[in-house]
Amino acid sequence: MEQPFSLRTELRDNRLIITTSGYINNVGGEAIGAEFRGHFDAGIREVVINLADSRVVNSVGMSFLIEIIEQLEETGGRLVFTNLDPAVEKMLTIMGLFKFAGKEKTVDEAVQVLSRRA
């Protein structure tokens, strides 16, 4: 059975890295959104969401990530997803999220891509 949701964060050169674990439903999505908002209010505009340990997600949870994309779009920021399970990647593709967010294999690659924007 999928483990309960949890997240941890790291700041690397003013970039926020959110690493999740477990099922991302409405509760998980809201927790990611709340964590993001705290850092966004402090000026963070580049975010990596590492889904390596979240193999099951639902569209309600993902809708909270659209809010993050929206806020970053409005302020010239950028979100990059990493370590996507192939089915989750397909889901996000169907939802069109990669029109406004990036995807990379690893957190290090995402950080490199974001650093090239500067």
Partner 1 sequence: MANAVSLKVSLPKIPDIELVAIEGLDRLARHLGIAEGKIGEAKIIVTEAVINALEHAGDKSPGVRVEFTMTTKELVIFVRDYGDGFVPASVPDPDITAKLGDKNKRGWGLKLMKSLSDDFRIESDKGGTRITIKKLLV
Residues with Cβ within 8 Å of 34's Cβ and at least 6 positions away in sequence, in order, are none
Q: How many residues bind partner 1 (CB under 8 A)?
A: 31
Stretch that binds partner 1, among 12-20, 36-44, 49-57, 104-112 (CB under 8 A): 49-57
Phi and psi at 5, nearest 5°, equal -70, 140
Least spacing, CB of residue 38 vs partner 1, in Å: 20
Phi, psi dihedrals of residue 16, rounded to the nearest 5°:
-90, 130
At 83 the three-state DSSP class reads: coil
Question: What backbone torsions phi and psi does residue 34 show, to the nearest 5 degrees?
Answer: -65, -40
Measured between alpha carbons, how far apart are the two ends of the chain, in Å? 42
Q: Tell me which of 87, 105, 106, 115 binds partner 1, using CB under 8 A.
A: 87
Task: Answer yes or no whether residue 1 interacts with partner 1 by CB under 8 A.
Answer: yes
Nearer to partner 1, 49 or 111 (CB): 49
Comparing CB distances to partner 1, the nearer of 101 and 110 is: 101
* Site for partner 1 contains 52 (CB under 8 A): no
100, two tokens: 């406004």
Residues that bind partner 1 (CB under 8 A): 1-2, 23, 25, 27, 55-60, 62-64, 66-67, 69-70, 73, 85-88, 90-91, 94-97, 99-100
